[in-house]
A = this chain, B = another copy of it.
């Protein structure tokens, strides 16, 4: 039976990290909330207290009778089952460690436009957003990107983050670089050349046939100003 992915239908958001893994591993799945009336099914499930392993929020996955929520947790599961993770214990822990560091990065990216509350509109927290984004672009983005660059520059690096082949953290780093480039084209135009291996990883992932096919399909929701990566020109460098 096909896996069922539950996520908000109109944004990439955190669900996109899961979609990328499902697509790259060629796993059959239904993007439930994007089917007719699917959003109602998702909302009903979230209100239904009887669910096994109830999620705090989407995304969540229904796979072989298991209900799994939290992006990094879903990816760990998919990675192990579908050839997107290293095989040994040390490699699995390392992949999860990388993914959790990216989860922290993603939260900081989101909070550039919502530093006070996700329940308020961006327009209600613009001065704070400008202040937070300035520090983010000057200090935090370089710190995270520099960290991943250093991993690639270690002796014997394969050009992938974890082991000799592509694993799910590579897909997530691709998504982060894509999203940052959408949100902050000016800042990333100046930043990214300092991280050539990160840039190269982005290109490598983009060229994987299954990923390329997905990105050009209607299954890929476009970036927009409702998700994590938002292009607000007033927040970008000039």
A contacts, CB < 8 Å to B: 49-50, 52-56, 66, 68-70, 72-73, 76-77, 89-90, 93-94, 96-97, 100-101, 103-104, 107, 111, 115-117, 119-120, 128, 131-132, 135-136, 139-140, 144, 147, 150-151, 153-155
A93 touches B150 (CB 8 A): no
B69 touches A97 (CB 8 A): yes
Complex: A54 Cα to B157 Cα, angstroms: 14
Q: Say whether, besides A53-B90, A56-B147, A132 and B154 are in contact (CB < 8 Å).
A: no
Q: Which of B96, B111, B116, B151 contacts A76 (CB 8 A)?
A: B96
Q: Say whether, besides A107-B107, A154-B50, A119 and B96 are in contact (CB < 8 Å).
A: no
Complex: A50 Cα to B151 Cα, angstroms: 10
- 9 sampled A-B residue pairs with Cβ under 8 A: A53-B97, A54-B150, A72-B72, A76-B93, A111-B111, A115-B115, A116-B131, A117-B135, A120-B135
Q: Say whether, besides A93-B66, A93-B68, A56 and B116 are in contact (CB < 8 Å).
A: no
Q: Return chain B residues, CB-CB under 8 Å to A132.
A: 115-117
Tell me the smallest distance from the CB of A142 to a CB of chain B, in Å: 12
Complex: A128 Cα to B128 Cα, angstroms: 7
Q: Return chain B residues, CB-CB under 8 Å to A53.
A: 90, 93-94, 97
Q: Return chain B residues, CB-CB under 8 Å to A66.
A: 89-90, 93
Determine the residue in chain B with the shortest Cβ distance to A120: B135
Q: Interface centre among A100, A151, A153, by most B CB within 10 Å?
A: A100
Q: Return chain B residues, CB-CB under 8 Å to A49.
A: 150, 153-154
Complex: A103 Cα to B96 Cα, angstroms: 14
Tell me the smallest distance from the CB of A200 to a CB of chain B, in Å: 19
Tell me the smallest distance from the CB of A120 to a CB of chain B, in Å: 7
Q: Say whether, besides A49-B150, A135-B117, A73 and B54 are in contact (CB < 8 Å).
A: no
Q: Return chain B residues, CB-CB under 8 Å to A94.
A: 53
Complex: A183 Cα to B186 Cα, angstroms: 40
Additional pairs, 5, CB under 8 Å, beyond known A117-B139, A119-B135: A53-B97, A56-B144, A69-B101, A70-B100, A72-B100
Q: Return chain B residues, CB-CB under 8 Å to A139.
A: 117, 119
Tell me the smallest distance from the CB of A88 to a CB of chain B, in Å: 10
